[in-house]
Structure 1
């Protein structure tokens, strides 16, 4: 049976058991503390009834000393305090550890899922899963031990009330089931609105992330009022849904809160009548009234538990939709896959097909690249050049065909080995808010000399040395303190420091002037023993390649040297446009 068709209590039970199985000790200790509180609660009620009969109204000759009664009250109070501390401390431990586990699982799944997953979703939605959804999913764990112990407390209370008088037990037998029915109705009604609230939270996160991420565009185009209006509208929808849920809570919570109080009033009236008839002692009445009054808070906690369960279940199901996404074979835990041979890698692509949703981007692409060869990829915008490089790097799902690296199928290469052997540098260079050295090294275990050599090969050594703190200069978020060409060169150095055996440049030097680009390409040929695929838009870059592959419509329609491909009209028109674009 699917999760969506299961009853809410069953889905809530599965959520709770996931946490209990992962962290049984904190949950067990918290439950023991909660049961200790139950014992202390019953002990307090019994003690007050005993004090009433044996200290307050007992004849002086039969009266127990007040000091002994006070000592007993202090002892029960200390035990109650210790049990409360145990319950709260260890339940918080279990809740926070569960949040940690689910966030870690989400992070690893985000990393392992192919790029098409991330293209289909806004980053704000993914942030909402890791933040608000995980927090809300564990809210039901906060009162868990207390809620379980209340069941024991209710049973003990029923026994004590029946021992005092069956009429008192009858009152409890009416109140407690009524509470359960009201709570069950509430959980069913609030499930769908709770799911809509969590969806609206993700929507607000998406708008906020887009506005912050595109702050420069927003300010440049003067879109501040429009972005404010987008956030206002998204926040208003979230507010309306939360008010809707709040109205439901306002309708049910007073009933849940009032029932124990009404029951206590009825119990006092009936109990006073029984005492007047001699059917019960004043101590019995004090015991029954105390148990009822002490049950008010625990029953409220149970109500909170039942109220939070739908929101927690819905939030966890949103998280599980990510965790249940199947991984690509190459992203599965590594086994004893084939080891790539040393030296430059060969590349064999046979009938490759790649889709973005329903759109076929690469359609039956064939390409063979020899080890150590440099191939320039040339094609109009949208011809599939970037998609091809991303797929070879293992970032895209393959809809058809195959890719082999020196005879090893791409999906069979362990991911760690693939990341070490293959490097892809994008046109949009992303830098972390860290030093230049850390952005290049990225904790790959490379020495400072390796970082310096990589910067020199990327023609970045001179400008990095000129920075205020050299390689220790912090470049700011996304490298905003550097120019576009400088960011591209640092990103290129980050790829070169790994000594890749297949280097792919996706227009990675587009922001660099032709002179510097020529220097970079010459350095790469001199310093690296590697195979290169280069997306090229400059004639100088195309002419430096050993061979050119011309893409059109998601296929490679021709390969050869630049001079050979000039015989193709479409190719000649395209490179002529490149030449004209280079003319100042």
Structure 2
């Protein structure tokens, strides 16, 4: 137990050192301002003692005082008060800047890490947890920073106070200072008791966020299947756990805070009791006792400031323990030194003995995939559900890297291309279309500097120009969250236009036109094939109308390429292919 307590304390002080190291300038300014406040607070005790001895007591004894004495006393009190105000303003300003800079910096670090880590890592971590890491966990990690400079300045204040106390009356000072080891002991015990409770509370915050995000994301499923009650119950159960966790935290803090408040007051009471006797026997004077009592009253605030930091450390460690695994995560996508081949035409793609196995998977999703795609051609990838088509599409644009073999673009392995080269040469459109709550123009350009003419040209290729022209504000029409105001086919065509406007040399469509009428789909593919610089297109397809437009078809089954050729050749030579294509055709006719 003692070892565990020491570990919490050591980690807490290391975390404080980390904050100071990362923001030394703001911390120094905040501590200087806090030290000014502490020094002026101690000086105010001395001023009050002097005013008591030199102005108040003589005026009581003589029944009269002078205007100059009152003016001097007032000037001394006001001067000290003004300097205290400067210290308070500086302390709060610089401490706030330090705290918010640390939070902003670590949010940027976390989000940059999210961008670096591969898709497979994101698939293992719920979105709600990732949001919690970047928001509430980062905030909790540095919550203690706001009172930290005050606590450090309070140490200066305590040091000055202790010296002043011993100079005034060593015996009374010794009696009163017994409170300090008690405060330290209470804080150590508090950190030990609070740490596991704060870790649990932070975890529950993330889980509540995760459930809420999942429910909002699946609003259509929840509404259409009448799952409102069960989702409310699921969220409510976890929210109640969070409530109970926070209540447990509050109980511990409820015991700790009054004790921290009481200890300085007990010290002041002991000083008054003993000091009154020493004044009575002439060992000290009334002004010294007033100064000592006032100094002990002032010590309550710096002791509380230190207590605030120590009280927030368990929460900070709990938050930082949840942020650190993200920052330390490995597996980020490595990049090579090569640039992509220059050119405006379609790109040639070669896959050689490509295999892929998901992390923790017992059997490979893809194995021994070998085929090539000629520049400017259209290849359809066809296969039954679970054959690895979407995984193959992701490999072509390097959403994931192959476990074995290589994917080569114009003679260069994708893993050797510099960062940003793949996205500049290839575009990917998934079946599940995502649109931002933005205008049509914003969803197509994504803030890249494309002209309206280029946007309209891309919309024409995607067969989206007519319905966009009919929208109330044309390109400026907002489409709502996830494109809620548009049909499924319209969303898919906007997503396709978003890819086309970038003039990719390789366009990968993962069943990205499934919600579009076959005639419109034919127009889209024909426009891609008939441009002056035809794009290389790899399309995951089911419809016979789509497949028949391809120059070549690759038949994928159980993660392997079992056949390739034209649509007519595979219809004649591969019974499983013919059965699948005809089954989808019959379904479309029936629909």
TM-score range (shorter-chain normalised) is: over 0.9
User: Is 1:300 aligned to residue 301 of structure 2?
Assistant: no
Q: For the residues of structure 2 that align with 1:272 and 1:230, how far apart are their CA atoms?
A: 63
* Structure 1 equivalent of residue 534 of structure 2: 529
CA contact (8 A) 1:147 1:298 kept: yes
CA contact (8 A) 1:341 1:406 kept: no
1:401 partner SS: strand
2:447 partner SS: coil
Structure 1 residues 398, 21: closer, same or farther in 2, change over 3 A?
A: farther
Report the alpha carbon displacement of residue 388 of structure 1 after superposing the two structures with TM.
1.0
CA contact (8 A) 1:40 1:79 kept: yes
User: Is 1:24 aligned to residue 24 of structure 2?
Assistant: yes
* Structure 2 equivalent of residue 569 of structure 1: 575
2:433 partner SS: coil
1:87-236 matched pairs, under 5 angstroms: 87-236=91-240
Report the alpha carbon displacement of residue 62 of structure 1 after superposing the two structures with TM.
11
Report the alpha carbon displacement of residue 415 of structure 1 after superposing the two structures with TM.
2.7
CA contact (8 A) 1:197 1:241 kept: yes
* Structure 2 equivalent of residue 289 of structure 1: 293
CA contact (8 A) 2:376 2:529 kept: no
Q: For the residues of structure 1 that align with 2:410 and 2:517, how far apart are their CA atoms?
A: 34
After superposition, what is the alpha-carbon deviation per residue over 1:152-203, rounded to whole angstroms, capped at 9, x for unaligned?
Answer: 2222222222222222221233100110011011111111111110000011
Q: For the residues of structure 1 that align with 2:6 and 2:412, how far apart are their CA atoms?
A: 45
Q: For the residues of structure 1 that align with 2:260 and 2:22, how far apart are their CA atoms?
A: 33
User: Is 1:56 aligned to residue 56 of structure 2?
Assistant: yes
After superposing the two structures, state which structure 1 stretch, 69-78 or 26-35, moved more.
Answer: 26-35
Paired residues, what number?
578
CA contact (8 A) 1:54 1:62 kept: no
CA contact (8 A) 1:124 1:205 kept: yes
After superposing the two structures, state which structure 1 stretch, 478-487 or 242-251, moved more.
Answer: 242-251
Report the alpha carbon displacement of residue 429 of structure 1 after superposing the two structures with TM.
1.2
Q: For the residues of structure 1 that align with 2:28 and 2:226, how far apart are their CA atoms?
A: 57
Q: Where does structure 1 lack aligned partners over 5 or more consecutive residues?
A: none
* Structure 2 equivalent of residue 501 of structure 1: 505
After superposition, what is the alpha-carbon deviation per residue over 1:559-579, rounded to whole angstroms, capped at 9, x for unaligned?
Answer: 222222231222222222122
* Structure 2 equivalent of residue 339 of structure 1: 340
Q: For the residues of structure 2 that align with 1:421 and 1:578, how far apart are their CA atoms?
A: 33
CA contact (8 A) 1:440 1:493 kept: yes
* Structure 2 equivalent of residue 40 of structure 1: 40
Q: For the residues of structure 1 that align with 2:116 and 2:175, how far apart are their CA atoms?
A: 58
1:382 partner SS: coil
User: Is 1:326 aligned to residue 360 of structure 2?
Assistant: no
Q: For the residues of structure 1 that align with 2:15 and 2:402, how far apart are their CA atoms?
A: 35
* Structure 2 equivalent of residue 15 of structure 1: 15
CA contact (8 A) 1:158 1:172 kept: no
Report the alpha carbon displacement of residue 320 of structure 1 after superposing the two structures with TM.
1.9
After superposition, what is the alpha-carbon deviation per residue over 1:115-145, rounded to whole angstroms, capped at 9, x for unaligned?
Answer: 1122112211111112211221121101010
After superposition, what is the alpha-carbon deviation per residue over 1:400-421, rounded to whole angstroms, capped at 9, x for unaligned?
Answer: 3222211212122123221111
Q: For the residues of structure 1 that align with 2:120 and 2:176, how far apart are their CA atoms?
A: 58
Q: For the residues of structure 2 that align with 1:379 and 1:144, how far apart are their CA atoms?
A: 61
User: Is 1:490 aligned to residue 498 of structure 2?
Assistant: no
Q: For the residues of structure 2 that align with 1:139 and 1:441, how far apart are their CA atoms?
A: 39
* Structure 2 equivalent of residue 578 of structure 1: 584
Report the alpha carbon displacement of residue 300 of structure 1 after superposing the two structures with TM.
1.2
After superposition, what is the alpha-carbon deviation per residue over 1:23-48, rounded to whole angstroms, capped at 9, x for unaligned?
Answer: 33222211111000111111011111
1:57 partner SS: helix
- With normalisation by structure 2, the TM-score equals 0.94
CA contact (8 A) 2:340 2:425 kept: no
2:177 partner SS: helix
